[in-house]
Amino acid sequence: MRKLRVAVVGAGRLGGFHARKLALWPNVELAGIVDPVADSRERLAAECGAPAFADHRPLLGQIDAAIVAAPTHLHHAIAADLLNWGVHVLVEKPLCATSAEADDLVRLAKRHGAILQVGHVERFNPAFASALPVAANPKYIEAVRAGGFTFRSTDIGVVLDLMIHDLDLALCLVRSPVRRVEALGLSVLGGHEDVANARIEFECGCVASFSASRVSSEPARRMQVWSAGGYAAIDFAARTTTLVRPSEAILQRQLDAAALAAAPDRDQILKAHLPHETTRHEASDALALELADFLESILGRRSPQAPGEAGRDAVALAERILRKIHTHAWDARPDGPIGPMAVPRPAAVPSPHFRLSPHSASIPG
């Protein structure tokens, strides 16, 4: 069987991760490393034993698939070129800078029969996968994601940079339209929000709370899910999952809390009815699992676990959150501070990085 010819567009940190794995992948030919910065592309290409290119266009018609790990504002233009040639594409998160661009990529992939996958790598974290039996049909979700400032992804804020992971996972779990969005954010080091909090209400009644920071001294990647079937606590960094499956007596409201308070063995009784099970998963390479899913989707002509539609939906929700952040009034005065910079207008906030289309501007919440 002929090897799949795969190119990596973007020779930065993430592009390097992808390229090094693909260079060792059986049945894959690393057909090119693409980056406009000569030193970056030449260094990575030499390390991986692949040719280097300053532009992706000379590779059109020569490759089967590509990884797009360029800055976010370039995702649409690069991926659209590739999809128009029938090239299968895995785009690092976020899929695009706007939902309109993401919609366009989804349409192009369908038109040309190409696989479009987004790099929502947490879907491949075993801590999340093992929580799914309990986390289905959630009632309340709470997610915290924080890290220090990396000086990467400065063309976007923390919502599209970090929170997007948890937005995707929540949409994966809830599978219901969003009814209402409330959010606020603060800019600390640049022109975009570096800290953000959002509260999402879904049509099904589920509520989700998201906190994200990229200026935190304490890293965190955690999610808690309360569902009809119990409770799940997920630590993505530690790769641990804690599940609580209530007994039938609790689910049927047969325990009397007032009477239980007087019982001498109440703690043991409670543990019996609310058993905790914590699993620490073995170290796994989520990025390698993501790449494997992409390559297997191409060979098997099946949808990947994180399809382009999922990336589009996450970006659309992120846009609604950003719209709220950029219109948040801090002291309820028309001329007061507004938006993530929290300074008086007109010097208040740089325009959102996205442009609202007429139909999206009318979406409530």
Q: Which domains does the chain have, with CATH numbers?
A: 4-120+286-306 (3.40.50.720), 124-173+205-211+221-280 (3.30.360)
Residue type for 231, please? Y
Over residues 194-216, mean pLDDT? 97
Q: What pLDDT digit, counting tens, does each position of 293-329 carry?
A: 999 999 999 999 999 999 999 999 999 999 999 988 7
Confidence of residue 342 (pLDDT cuts 50, 70, 90): low
Q: From CA 163, how far away is CA 198, in angstroms rounded? A: 9
Which phi and psi angles does 336 have, rounded to 5°? -90, -175
pLDDT of residue 280: 96
Q: From CA 179, how far away is CA 171, in angstroms rounded? A: 13
pLDDT of residue 5: 99
Residue 333 has pLDDT above 70, yes or no: no
Q: What pLDDT digit, counting tens, does each position of 207-262 carry?
A: 999 999 999 999 999 999 999 889 999 999 999 999 999 888 777 787 777 777 77
Over residues 93-102, mean pLDDT? 97
Residue 151 burial (C-beta neighbours within 10 Å; 0-12, 13-18, 19+):
exposed
Q: From CA 309, how far away is CA 287, in angstroms rounded? A: 20
Confidence of residue 128 (pLDDT cuts 50, 70, 90): very high
Q: What is the full DSSP assignment across 62-125?
A: T-SEEEE-S-GGGHHHHHHHHHHTT-EEEEESSS-SSHHHHHHHHHHHHHHT--EEEE-GGGG-
Q: What pLDDT digit, counting tens, does each position of 261-284 carry?
A: 777 887 787 788 888 999 999 999
Confidence of residue 340 (pLDDT cuts 50, 70, 90): confident
Residue 108 has pLDDT above 60, yes or no: yes
Confidence of residue 334 (pLDDT cuts 50, 70, 90): low
Q: Are 304 and 290 in contact (CB under 8 A)?
A: no
pTM of the model: 0.88
pLDDT of residue 338: 79
Q: What pLDDT digit, counting tens, does each position of 65-87 carry?
A: 999 999 999 999 999 999 999 99
Q: From CA 207, how far away is CA 203, in angstroms rounded? A: 9
% of the chain at pLDDT higher than 70: 91
pLDDT of residue 329: 75
| Upper half-sphere CA count for residue 359 (Cβ side, 13 Å) | 3
pLDDT of residue 75: 98
Characterize the bridge pairing of strands 230-235 and 220-227.
antiparallel
Output the average pLDDT for the chain: 90
Residue 131 has pLDDT above 60, yes or no: yes
Residue 352 has pLDDT above 50, yes or no: no
pLDDT of residue 360: 38
- E runs forming strands in the chain: 4-9, 28-34, 52-53, 65-68, 88-92, 116-119, 138-146, 178-186, 195-202, 207-213, 220-227, 230-235, 240-244, 276-280
Q: From CA 365, how far away is CA 354, in angstroms rounded? A: 17
